[in-house]
Structures are given as structure tokens and as C-alpha cells.
Chain A
Amino acid sequence: MSLTKMFQKMNKNIASNWSNFKVHMLQNYGENPGNMLVHTGTLGWILSSLAQVGAVVFNDKISPEQKTFLIPQEIADAAVNILSFYALTYSLKCFGAKLVSTGKLRTKRIRNFLERNELMNKVGKLDFDVAKQDNFSPLADHYKSFKNGVDVVTSTIGSIISCNILTPILRNQYASKKQKKAIANMQQHNMQNIQHPRGISIADYQKLASMKFSNSSGLKI
């Protein structure tokens, strides 16, 4: 196969994939803005967490002692942020969607529809879906607009709880544990490098060195 033909085939493939990607985006997110917020939000957190960890790692002005706290804090922040964002936001979004689809959360128009079709006894049952009932089509636009609104509200509430309340609490606990461990390791390493002094016992010297180390650091836990 000549180079031109190969290039043409590659171009065709790229064009076809790009076209499929656009159609996929339209089909998946066009009708579901809540899903889009959750998925792109998760991707966004992954990327920004990478940058934040990098910012601490490459900042020479942060002391090694503080880095022992800040780097685990950033990594914990990233892991908890990403996991809690996805798990909590997605669960809350799905629960909100279920509330609307089972008729638990409804507008006056939806309630009138349910009453008119004698469906009130099915409201709140997991298998019941308002959108799958007969004569639903006149209500479709109103229902979709309401459902999308609830989706966005629940996913926003989920992301606020996960990123702004749950994450800082969890990451601080995790990071402080990591910091304690790292400082203990650092102290142990320093002890191993101490040379045996003359005229003083090794136990006394270790005690002195330990006191000196703990006073020189700003990090006392």
C-alpha cells in the first residue's frame, strides 16, 4: 500500500471516529445534563489533582518537613476527591432521578397525569416509571425539563457534599497519619547516620540528637 493511500485511509478513520464521537456525545449527554456534570467533573478532578500534586512536589520553597504533610495531603485529596465525587454525586443523581421517575417527586401537572390515569397507588415503587406509561407523550417535554433540573440540582448537591465537606475531613485524617509515619521514618534514618561520639554513651547521644531534631522542626505532632 502506497504512503498516500495509507494516509488517506488514516484520515478517513479519524474523520469517521470524530463523527461517531460527536453523535455519541449528542445521544448520551444531550438528554442528560446531570450525567455530563458527573462524568466531566470526575475527569476534571483527575486532571486538576495531578497539577496540584505536581505543584507541591516541584515547589523548592516548601520545606521537606512540610512536604511530608502536604504531598500526602494532596494525594489523599486527589484520591478521596475523585472517588467520593463520583460515588456520592452519581448515587445522589441516580436517587434524584428515581424520585422523579417513580413519581415520588413531581409537579402539579405530573400529579394530575398520575391521578387521571389512576396510577397513584404505584407511586414510589421501584419498577414504576412515569415516562413509560400510556398517554405520556403530551407530558414528555414538561417531564424531561423537570427531570433534568432535578438531575442537575442533585448532582450539584452531591458534589458540594463530597468535595467540600467529606473530602477535607477524610484527607486531613489520612494525611496526618502519613505525616506521622514519614517523620518517624525520617527520625529513624537520622539516628542511623549518627556516628559514635567520644566521651559520651550512644544512648545519651541519641537522646540529645532526638531533642535537637524535634526542636529544629516546625512540625510537632
Chain B
Amino acid sequence: MRFIFLGECVVITKIFNRITNTPIYKGVKKNIRRFEQGALDLLPDATFNKPATVKLIGDIGRDISSAENRLILGVSALMTQPFIDAKNKNVDEETRKVSVCRTIAKIIAGTFTGYFIRKGCIKAIKAWSKIPAPGIPKYKTLFTPKGARSTNNEAFKQYQNAMGTVAALVVMLFSNFLIDAPLTKFLTNLLVKNSGGEKQ
């Protein structure tokens, strides 16, 4: 089994080397680098002098987890997407109205469940990723990675956020069908009814 795996690795490496040595690959890579350098040259240098701004950027990196990110996306979606759908002249008025109502319903339902499920899962992972010690039940170390010595560092907090988000995605496999979809349907019907249209 191990030999087969090693053999596969060698074959993949050989294929990869062959691809990266082709003139097409080298040409594409060279052009991408040229484009990247051009984009960098276009922008002027910028220095953040104010300690408050630097602290804010650091705090964003530390405190914005996928839950807050989903909330920001949802709020900004409400400010843009319904207006884009309302201005879609390619469909008749009735369809446009249903489309706007559905977009609003989808954003509200998606943001609501997305935020709370992510937040809940991250909290659960934080509770179940303690450092093994006398008096700490085994289930509370279920998500603790091997070799972790402290939970009080930046990398570990980001790990908890990432693990919580992955757990949330698993939960959302079910909640998308059990909560999101019916809630979207209910809200769409409510919005269509209130906007004077037929119930969908």
C-alpha cells in the first residue's frame, strides 16, 4: 500500500515537473508576474501612522470570524442586491417583484441562520478544545490538536474559528434544508403578499 502511494507521488511529481517546464506554462507565469508587478507599481506606497488605525486593523484580523464576516456580507447584500434585481428590465414587472422579494427573503434567512449557526459552532468548539489537564473531561478536549500547549494564543484562536466554521458548514448541510429554505419560502410569500402580489 505504502509503495503504491509513493509510486503515485513520484508520477504526480513527474507530471507536475513536465507541465511546469513547458514554454506555455513559463510564458503564462511570466505574464502573470508582469501583471502583478504592474499592479503593484500603479499603487502609491502607504504608511499607517496612527496607532489607532493600526490597532483597528489588527483587531479586525483577530476578532472578525466567519460569523461576523457573514453578517457584514448579509447587511451589504441588503443594500445592493434588491436594487439590482428591481432594475432588471429583462423580465416583466410581476417576475421582477417576486425576484426582489425572494432576494430579500433569501438574504434575511441566509444571514440569520448563517450568523447564528457559525457563532454557535465556534462557541461550542471553544468549549470543546481545552488543553488536556487533570479535572478536564475528555469530551472537552475532542477538538484539541495534538501538541497544543496553550489556548491563549492568536494561532489557536484562529484554529478554533476555522474549526467552528467547518462544524457550522456540516450543521448547515441540514439547516439549509430544514431552516433556510422554509424560512426563505415563508418570507418570500409574506413579502409578495405585502407588496400586493399573489402568494407564491
B146 touches A106 (CB 8 A): no
Let me know if A88 is at the binding interface, CB within 8 A. no
| Interface membership of A14, Cβ < 8 A | no
Chain A contacts of B147 at CB under 8 A? Answer: 23
- CA of A107 to CA of B41, assembled, Å: 19
**Nearest Cβ in chain B — how far from A26, in angstroms?**
4
Within 8 A of B (CB), among A82-122: 95, 98-99, 102-109, 111
In the bound complex, how far is the Cα of B183 from the Cα of A52, in angstroms? Answer: 11
Determine if A219 and B91 form an interchain contact, defined as CB atoms under 8 angstroms apart. yes
Is B61 a contact partner of A62 (Cβ separation < 8 A)?
A: no
Interface set of A (CB-CB < 8 Å, partner B): 19, 22-23, 25-26, 29-33, 36-37, 40-41, 43-44, 47-48, 50-52, 54-55, 59, 61-62, 66, 69-70, 73, 95, 98-99, 102-109, 111, 123-126, 144-153, 155-156, 159-160, 163-165, 168-169, 172-173, 176, 179, 218-221
* Number of A-B contacts defined by CB within 8 Å: 214
Partner of A164, one of B80, B90, B180, B199: B80
> Please, how many residues of chain B have a CB less than 8 angstroms from a CB on the other chain?
76
Q: Is residue B20 contacting chain A, with contact meaning CB distance below 8 A?
A: no
In the assembly, what is the distance between CA of A109 and CA of B81, in Å? 40
Q: What 11 new A-B contacts, CB under 8 Å, besides A26-B145, A33-B158, A172-B90?
A: A26-B148, A40-B166, A66-B98, A73-B99, A104-B40, A124-B45, A126-B37, A149-B58, A156-B69, A168-B81, A179-B91
Type the 1/0 row for B53-73, where 1 means its CB is closer than 8 Å to any CB of A: 010111111101110011011
Kindly report which residue of chain B lies nearest to residue A69, judged by CB atoms.
B95
Q: CB distance A164 to B69 under 8 Å?
A: no
Q: How far is the CA of A23 from the CA of B146 in the complex (A)?
A: 7
Chain B: CB-nearest residue to A153: B60
Are B61 and A151 neighbours in the complex by a CB distance under 8 Å? yes
- B131 at interface by CB-CB < 8 Å: no
